[in-house]
Amino acid sequence: MKLTPTLVEQIRQQYPAFTRTVGGLPAAFFDGPGGTQVPQCVIDAVSHYLGHTNSNHGGLFATSIESDAILDQAHRAMADFLGTDDPGTIVFGPNMTSLAMALGRSLGRTWTRGDEIIVTRLDHDANVASWLLAAEDAGATVRFVDIDPTDCTLNLEQLREQINPATKWVAVGCASNVSGSLNPISEISNWAHEVGALVFADAVHLAPHLLLDVEQLGCDFLACSPYKFFGPHLGVLWGRRELLESLPVYKVRPAVNTLPDRWMTGTQSHENIAGALAAVNYLADLGRLVSDDSTLPRRSALREAFVAIAEYESALTLGFLEQIDQLRQYHIWGIQDRDRLSQRLPTISFTHNSMSPDELTANLAERGLFLWQGNHYASELCEALGQPEGAVRAGIVHYNTLDEVNRLAAALRELA
């Protein structure tokens, strides 16, 4: 079954945020790339944890035991979400950036002069600066991969050429958080592994849109953020067990040195981890809804959900691009070819020929249309495009509607 307007409206009823109005108009949330809204089940999970099972890790009394059971469930749910059978390889942290910085500090101790790392100009800076700092500490050489400015895609030929026997680390995003461009992670992983290099995949922007499968992607580490897929503010890191067990870690001495605790320094945000569990289960329930099969195991249900999500979001993206493409005052940064929509996500960034991104988003906000402006932490990309002020970004997710897309297009037409 598809995500029909009726089903989408049924899903939207689960989101308290959608009761907000601006000037008598319902708010339309196109700000998902900066953080999606959350359904009531996630809010309830966070609230229930704090109200009934709030405790630290490892106690021998009821609330601690119950808390640890929730954390264990969350690791298993996130393993299902990422496509691994090993919940011990799931690491929670405050956000993706903090986890990447911690991993970079660890990796820096294994690099030396003459080693090379590869980063790209398409990525969010969390997947650039983390490794630049680690390379600086180790005296390693950094190589940048450029973009094709005509469609904001990665120069894969240059990337392939830069991988050599000295390469130790290749950091690449699964998808651009500005242009929505998708990268062939499995192919890049194969190139890197041919010379013994490790691959880090930033899946933060991909996670709300397509099913993740770390084994299929072939990477060695992958990070994502539940607050980008309908959960609370939190970060998640997955890594191959042998690497998580062998790399040096920075942590207090009395802490348990087995997975996943080895990488989860300090007391975690247990209530947000409970919320992440609820977010994964929300998506699985969506898959059971669209497939009309309440018995589906979680991973199978997630697969059904993301098939429906991708088809639905693609239709909204096409509708938006067809409308804004007629407005000559705007420039779209990213793939616009209708035959290449499968190579991009429903994230559309654009600029106005005379209005700044700040001015444009402020005007849209007055109309109840919530979009992001700026470089979106993809500073290398915006500099390469000659857009120091960045762009306006519309992020479509499965709770958006065709009416909202049409409202946004009509507002842009009026402002043009």
CATH number of the structural domain spanning residue 96: 3.40.640.10
User: Residues in the chain with pLDDT < 50?
Assistant: none
Rounded to the nearest 10 degrees, what angle do helices 298-324 and 270-291 cross at? 80
Per-residue pLDDT, 256:
81
Q: Are residues 394 and 348 in the same domain?
A: yes
402 found inside a domain:
yes
> CA–CA separation, 76 vs 257, rounded Å?
20
287: in domain? no
Tokens of residue 409, six digits: 């297009």
Domain of residue 311 covers: 5-30+298-415
How confident is the model at residue 253, as a pLDDT?
A: 84
What's the total number of domains in the chain? 2
CATH of the domain at 349: 3.90.1150.10
Same domain, yes or no: 51 and 162: yes
Co-location of 124 and 187 in the same domain: yes
Tell me, yes or no, whether 180 and 252 share the same domain.
yes
pLDDT of 62 reads 98
Q: List for the chain the helix, strand, coil content (%; round to 5).
A: 45, 15, 35
Flag whether 290 is in a domain. no
Q: Burial level of 74, CB count in 10 A (0-12/13-18/19+)?
A: buried
Residue 37 inside a domain? The answer is no
285 found inside a domain: no
- Residue 212 maps to a domain: yes
304 and 241, same structural domain? Answer: no
Q: Give SS3 for 203.
A: coil
Q: Which residues, other chains included, contact 373 with Cβ-Cβ below 8 Å and sequence gap of 6+?
A: 357, 358, 360, 361, 390, 391, 392, 393
CA–CA–CA angle 210, 125, 355 (5° rounding): 90
- Identify the pLDDT of residue 50: 98
The predicted pLDDT at position 325 comes to 87
Does the predicted TM-score (pTM) go above 0.95? Answer: yes
What is the model's pLDDT at position 148? 96
The domain boundary residue, chosen from 215, 244, 279: 279
Residue 393 falls in which region: left (phi positive, over 0), alpha (psi -120 to 50) or beta: beta
144 lies in the same domain as 115? yes
How many whole angstroms separate alpha carbon 102 and alpha carbon 239? 13
Do 270 and 328 fall within a single domain? no
